[in-house]
Amino acid sequence: MAGESPPDKKMLKIKQRLTPYILLIPFLLIMGLIFAGGLIQGAVQSLGWLPAFGMDKLTLAHYRQALTDPGFLSSLRYTLYIALTSSVLSVVLGVFVAFLVHKTGSGNKISFTLFRVPIIIPHIVVIIMIFHIFFQTGIFSRLAFSMGLISNPNDFPLLIYDRGGAGILLVYLYKQIPFVALMVFSISRNLDKKYFQIAENLGATPFQIMIRITLPLLAPTILSAFLITFAFGFGAFEVPYLLSSPARHTLPVLAFLDYRSPVLSDRPAAMAINVIISALSLLLIWLYVRVMGLLTKRGMDSQV
């Protein structure tokens, strides 16, 4: 307003900038208390503090038991395998799809809709879909039988409840490839075209432009997508619980089974596993913030 002095205008801008954060404070407090309360309770129980069940001594024995238990170490390797495989494949295929859509110039509303549909479908729906398509009595098995490729359903490859986690990976890839593609495509379509024009004028091939210009510019987005999908694959429960082999469990499933054990002394061990999962997830968040900060600083330095 014309009658406002410069300090008044400055205060108004500060107020407008802070208003959204102030409005979020009640929500953040409630969610923070719920998260912190649950984490603190789990951490205390993981130390063996369950007075209602006669456990009133703090101990690290449950952590030592978990970290030295062959079953825990096997579950940790299996969880890392599922998370790493699904995230790497999702990033590679998602980036390829994003580049393909960008190159063909088909980045319209239809493309965005095709990206979003798999993302918004609940995981339980995708699980049922994968089950009916890839199970040994599913659609593909019946098609192979009708075409004479197999003599009975048991000849069809075991993709659900298998030790390799193929069914779990199929669900993750169906959900995560469009997620990565949407992230990468949204950024790639807004990149400054002058970099590509200069490279073309200097005789760079499309492959050289992709390797030396496009991928470095998209590196923070690709890294974000990788860490997000890895963290989800590492901490997810429902997909491996419903589709994994009874002989192999991811860490969240192992913690759930231990918590449901009728032996009450197993509950602190289950909470110890949950705390370890939470600690590794927080480590991923720290790593993400650290790497993103380094990439941002590197980008700023390169522009100076």
Reported as a single tens digit per residue, the pLDDT across 104-123 is 665 566 666 777 788 888 88
CATH of the domain at 237: 1.10.3720.10
- pTM score over 0.75: yes
Q: How many domains does the chain have?
A: 1
CA distance linking residue 85 with residue 234, whole number of Å: 11
Q: Would residue 46 count as lying in a domain?
A: no
What's the confidence (pLDDT) of residue 83? 93
Q: Across the chain, what does the average pLDDT equal? A: 80
Q: Would residue 84 count as lying in a domain?
A: yes
Q: Would residue 187 count as lying in a domain?
A: yes
* Segment 28-71, tens digit of pLDDT: 788 777 777 777 877 888 887 777 667 777 888 888 888 888 88
DSSP label of 47: T
Q: Would residue 189 count as lying in a domain?
A: yes
What is the residue whose two structure tokens read 């801008």? 13
* Segment 74-105, tens digit of pLDDT: 999 999 999 999 999 999 999 888 888 777 66
Q: Would residue 268 count as lying in a domain?
A: yes
Residues 6+ apart with CB under 8 A from 172: 82, 86, 90, 229, 232, 233, 239
Residue 18 has pLDDT above 90, yes or no: no
Helix axes 251-259, 267-303, angle to 10 degrees: 150
Residue 128 has pLDDT above 80, yes or no: yes
Domain encompassing residue 202:
74-106+175-303
Q: For the purposes of burial, counting CB atoms within 10 Å of the CB of 158, is it exposed (0-12), middle (13-18) or buried (19 or more)?
A: middle
CA distance linking residue 114 with residue 106, whole number of Å: 12
CA contacts within 13 A on the Cβ side of 216: 10
* Segment 166-180, tens digit of pLDDT: 999 999 999 999 999
Q: Would residue 260 count as lying in a domain?
A: yes
Reported as a pLDDT band with limits 50, 70 and 90, residue 261 is confident
Q: For the purposes of burial, counting CB atoms within 10 Å of the CB of 75, is it exposed (0-12), middle (13-18) or buried (19 or more)?
A: buried
For range 141-165, the mean pLDDT:
85
Q: Would residue 191 count as lying in a domain?
A: yes
Q: Would residue 123 count as lying in a domain?
A: no
Reported as a pLDDT band with limits 50, 70 and 90, residue 275 is confident
Smallest CA-to-CA distance from 255 within 56, 71, 37, 77 is with: 71
